[in-house]
Amino acid sequence: MPDSNLEILRKETLIKLIENSVGSRMFNSVLVRFKGKDEIKDVLKNGEYSCAFFVSSLLYLTKLIDEPHATVKSTEAFLLKSNDWKKIPLADAKTGDVVVWEKRSFSDGSEHAHMGFVLGEKEAVSTNSEQKKVVRHHIGAGERTVSAVYRSID
C-alpha cells in the first residue's frame, strides 16, 4: 500500500531513468509467438528496432503512457491522441521530453522513424541500432532531423 505521506515525482524519476539507462541493452527484445504457430520471433531484432520500446517502457514505468509499444508509429499515435501530451517546438525542448526523428531508409528497403528523449539543451538519449544499446548523443546527430517533440503536461 502506498504511503500517503509520499508523493512520487514522476518527471524527476523519468529523468533519472533516462540518465541511468545509458549503456543498457535491456530494451533490445520483445518476443512474440504468432497464433497457431510454434515460431517465436524477436520483433525488435535484438536491438535493431528498439527505440520505441525503450521510450514507451520508461514512460510506462513512470505512469505517463498506457502501455509499452514496439513501434514509433504506435507510440507517437498514443502521444498525439492523449490529452496528457502536447507537441512543442524543438526550440522549447527540455530534459525528459520525447523526441522523434524523421524516417530513414535501411539497406533492406524498409523505412523507420526513430525516437528517444531530450537530455539537456543539445543532447538526447536513444537506442543505437548498430551498437544495440542505449546511447547519449547530440540531438541533431546522424542523418536524421527532428520531426516532433512531445511534452507531458502532467
Residue 1: inside a domain, yes or no? no
**CATH number of 97's domain:** 3.90.1720.10
Would you say residue 68 lies in a domain? yes
Can you give the pLDDT at residue 140?
Answer: 80
With pLDDT > 90 as the criterion, what percentage of the chain qualifies? 79
Residue 60 located in a structural domain: yes
Q: Which residue has the cell 504457430?
A: 37
Q: 3 in a domain, yes or no?
A: no
Between 51 and 3, the higher pLDDT residue = 51
Question: pTM for the complete prediction?
Answer: 0.92
Q: Which residue has the cell 515460431?
A: 39
Instruction: Evaluate if residue 152 carries a pLDDT over 70.
Output: yes
| Helix (H) or strand (E) run with residue 14 in it | helix 10-21
**pLDDT tens figures, 35-48:** 889 899 999 999 99
Say if CB 58 and CB 12 are below 8 A apart: no
Q: How far apart, in whole angstroms, are the C-alpha atoms of residue 132 and residue 51?
A: 10
Q: In whole angstroms, what is the distance from residue 1 CA to residue 14 CA?
A: 22
Tens digit of each residue's pLDDT (9 = 90 or more) over 51-76: 999 999 999 999 999 999 999 999 99
Residue 5 lies in a domain: no
- What nine digits make up the cell of 76? 507517437
Interatomic CA distance for residues 50 and 120, integer angstroms: 22
Give me the number of domains the chain comprises.
1
> Which pLDDT score is estimated for 121?
84
Task: Look at residue 1 and tell me whether its pLDDT is greater than 80.
Answer: no
Cβ neighbors of 44 (< 8 A, separation 6 or more) are: 27, 28, 29, 30, 50, 53, 70
What's the CA angle centered on 104, arms 24 and 149, to 5 degrees?
65
Question: Has residue 54 been placed in a domain?
Answer: yes
Q: Would 108 be classed as within a structural domain? A: yes
Find the domain containing 21 and state its range: 10-152
**If pLDDT is split at 50, 70 and 90, which confidence band does 142 have?**
low
pLDDT digits (tens, 9 = 90+) for 81-139: 999 999 999 999 999 999 999 998 877 788 889 999 999 888 999 999 999 999 999 99
Within-domain flag for 29: yes
